[in-house]
Structure 1
Amino acid sequence: MADVSPIDLQRALKGADYPASRDDLVSPARNNGADDDLVEKLAQSGTQRFDGPDEVQKAVSGNQ
């Protein structure tokens, strides 16, 4: 799977409040029309809590 574009991730997580749990971010990503691959990567990331979008980017890109 290809890395997630930071722009796509930013669009997917528009309106998300941090810190946030992984589950707190999956719903807005779906509601914002995120690609299924991005939602799956987010839902299956090993990180339980994110303090900001940079941490989310690392988790979904496999750069933890």
Structure 2
Amino acid sequence: MAKVNPIEVQKHLKGLDYPATKEDVIKHAEKNGADEELKALLNDLPDEEFEKPTDVNKAIGQVG
């Protein structure tokens, strides 16, 4: 899987209220037009609550 740009990730998560669960992150990204590659990557995130946007990027870096 190609590396996903953290800025692109945050564009799809713009307006998401934190803390947010993995499901919140996925639903919000889908609502904002995330492509299949990003959705697949988000599905691989740990099932946890993210306190801030950088927590999502950090988790993506660990699974991506």
Under a length normalisation based on structure 2, what TM-score does the superposition of the two structures give? 0.84
**What is the rounded CA distance, in whole Å, between the counterparts of 1:47 and 1:54 in structure 2?**
16
Q: Alpha carbon RMSD of aligned pairs, Å?
A: 1.4
**What is the rounded CA distance, in whole Å, between the counterparts of 2:8 and 2:14 in structure 1?**
10
**What is the rounded CA distance, in whole Å, between the counterparts of 1:28 and 1:43 in structure 2?**
13
Query: Sequence identity of aligned pairs in percent?
Result: 41
More helix by share: 2
Q: Which runs of 5+ in 1 are unaligned?
A: none
The count of aligned residue pairs is: 63
Q: Which runs of 5+ in 2 are unaligned?
A: none
Under a length normalisation based on structure 1, what TM-score does the superposition of the two structures give? 0.84
Runs of 4+ aligned residues of structure 1 deviating over 4 Å after TM superposition are none
Q: Which residue matches 2:33? A: 33
